[in-house]
C-alpha cells in the first residue's frame, strides 16, 4: 500500500504489469476511445459495527470521476429479504451503524434506483470468513528513493507491518486486501490563548492517503500458514505537525471472495499510476453491478467482505528515539513566536505539504 513514485518509473511499472497479465493468460481488458460518461457505483459492506458508504457518480472527461448523481436511492438487501435504506450525506449514501449488521456466510446485494426510474443491482455476494490480524507495529526504515530528476535520495520512512494468518478459521486459503487509515491530534499550547487563560482545545484530523494500487494478497500458491512482518504502509514522517501528539495507524484487513480479489487485481493492472484508485478509469473493468432490464454499462463494484482491524499509535517522543524530526508547537517556545495553529488547533490548514487532512470528531478509541 505504498505510495507510488510519479514519473517514468511508474509508467514502466504499468507497462510491465500489463505485459505480465497477457503472459499469464488473463483476458486482456478492452480500452474504449470514446469519452462517454458512464455510471460508477462503488461500496463496501462488512460485519464491522460502523457506518457503510456507497458512492454513485458519473465519469467525467477522459475517464476521471465527475459529478455526483443526484436523487439516487440506495438499498441493501440480505438473503432473507430484509431491506435497509442508505441515507444521503455529503455526496455519499450512508448506511448508519446498527441498521443492518453483516454476518459471515450470509448473502447480500445492492439495489440502486436513479431519479429517472432506471434500476441497477449487484450480484448476490456471500460474506467470507474473517481473517484476524495478530499484531500491528511500526518501525523507522532507511530507504533509497529516486527523485523526479533521477537523483538517488536516502530517506527514512515510517513503515507499518502486520503479522497475520493467511488461512480462515475453517482452514481455507484466503484472499486479502489491506487499507491503512491515519489519524492524528493537535493540542493547543496551555496559556497560549489570551482568553480564557486556562482553556486548551484538542483537535483531531483524518489524513487523506491516496494510493495508486490496491494492496492485495492471495494464499492460493503460498504454503505458509501466516505472514510475518508484512509491510502494509510506508510514508515519510512529514509534515512533523502530524506527529506532534498521538498519531494512529489503523490497519483494515479485508477477507475477499475469489471473484472480488480478481476484480481488484484487474483494477491494479489498469489503474493510472499518476493518480489514485478511481481517480481515472482508463479501461472498462467489468464489475458485479448491472442495469435491471437494460443495457447501460456500469462501472464499479459492490464489495461484501469480512474485516479485521488493528490499531497502533506513535508519538513524537517515540519517533525521535529512532530519528530526529523537528518539533512544532513546542510549549517551551514563548507564545509570541508560536504559529497560530499552535495556540488555536482549529486553525491548522488542510494542507501543509502532503498528505492533506480533514478535521474530525474525537475517535472513540483515542488514547485507549
Final residue belonging to a domain, choices 268, 284, 304: 304
The pLDDT value recorded for residue 101 is: 92
Q: How many domains are there within the chain?
A: 2
160 in the same domain as 115: no
Q: Which three cell numbers stand for residue 202?
A: 484538542
Average pLDDT over every residue of 244-271: 94
Is residue 68 in a domain? yes
Is residue 40 in a domain? yes
Average pLDDT over every residue of 117-132: 96
What is the C-alpha separation between 283 and 28, in angstroms, rounded? 10
Cβ count within 10 A of residue 123? 14
123 in the same domain as 263: yes
SS3 259: helix
68 in the same domain as 212: no
Is residue 1 in a domain? no
Is residue 171 in a domain? yes
**How much is the pTM?**
0.84
115 in the same domain as 68: yes
Q: What is the pLDDT of residues 278-304, one digit of tens each?
A: 554 445 788 999 999 877 778 899 999
Range of the domain at 109: 8-127+258-304
232 in the same domain as 321: yes
109 in the same domain as 54: yes
The pLDDT value recorded for residue 25 is: 38
177 in the same domain as 149: yes
- The residue with greater pLDDT, 115 or 90, is 115
What is the C-alpha separation between 211 and 264, in angstroms, rounded? 13
The pLDDT value recorded for residue 16 is: 22
Instruction: Say whether the peptide bond before residue 365 is cis (omega within 30 degrees of 0).
Output: no
Amino acid at each position: 500500500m505504498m505510495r507510488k513514485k510519479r514519473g517514468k518509473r511508474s509508467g514502466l511499472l504499468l507497462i510491465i504489469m500489463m505485459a505480465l497479465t497477457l503472459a499469464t493468460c488473463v483476458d486482456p481488458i478492452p480500452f474504449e476511445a470514446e469519452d462517454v460518461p458512464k455510471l460508477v457505483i462503488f461500496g463496501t459492506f462488512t460485519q464491522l459495527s460502523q457506518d457503510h458508504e456507497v458512492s454513485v457518480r458519473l465519469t467525467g472527461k477522459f475517464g476521471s470521476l465527475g459529478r455526483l448523481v443526484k436523487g439516487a436511492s440506495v438499498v441493501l438487501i440480505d438473503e432473507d429479504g430484509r431491506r435497509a435504506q442508505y441515507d444521503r450525506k455529503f455526496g455519499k449514501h450512508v448506511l448508519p451503524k446498527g441498521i443492518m449488521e453483516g454476518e459471515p456466510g450470509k448473502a447480500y446485494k445492492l439495489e440502486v434506483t436513479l431519479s429517472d426510474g432506471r434500476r441497477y443491482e449487484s450480484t448476490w455476494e456471500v460474506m467470507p470468513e474473517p481473517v484476524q490480524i495478530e499484531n500491528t507495529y511500526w518501525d523507522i526504515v532507511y530507504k533509497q528513493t529516486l527523485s523526479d530528476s533521477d537523483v538517488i535520495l536516502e530517506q527514512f520512512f515510517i513503515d507499518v507491518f502486520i503479522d497475520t494468518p493467511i488461512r480462515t478459521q475453517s482452514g481455507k486459503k484466503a484472499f486479502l486486501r489491506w487499507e491503512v487509515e491515519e489519524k492524528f491530534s493537535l493540542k493547543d499550547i496551555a496559556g497560549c490563548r489570551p482568553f480564557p487563560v486556562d482553556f486548551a482545545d484538542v483537535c483531531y484530523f483524518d489524513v487523506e492517503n491516496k494510493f495508486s494500487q490496491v494492496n492485495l494478497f492471495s494464499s492460493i500458491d503460498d504454503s505458509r500458514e501466516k505472514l510475518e512482518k508484512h509491510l502494509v504502509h510506508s510514508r515519510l514522517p512529514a509534515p512533523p505537525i502530524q506527529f506532534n501528539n498521538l498519531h494512529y495507524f489503523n490497519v483494515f484487513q479485508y477477507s475477499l471472495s475469489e471473484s472480488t480479489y480478481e476484480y481488484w487485481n484487474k483494477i491494479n493492472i489498469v489503474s493510472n499510476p499518476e493518480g489514485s484508485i478511481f481517480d481515472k478509469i482508463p479501461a472498462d473493468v467489468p464489475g458485479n453491478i448491472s442495469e435491471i432490464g437494460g443495457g447501460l454499462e456500469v462501472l464499479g463494484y459492490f464489495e461484501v467482505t469480512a474485516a479485521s482491524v488493528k490499531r497502533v499509535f506513535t508519538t513524537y517522543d517515540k519517533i525521535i528515539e529512532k530519528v530526529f524530526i523537528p518539533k512544532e508547537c513546542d510549549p517551551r517556545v514563548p507564545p509570541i513566536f508560536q504559529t497560530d495553529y499552535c495556540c488555536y488547533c482549529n486553525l491548522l490548514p488542510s494542507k501543509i505539504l502532503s498528505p492533506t487532512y480533514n478535521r474530525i470528531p474525537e475517535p472513540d478509541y483515542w488514547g485507549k
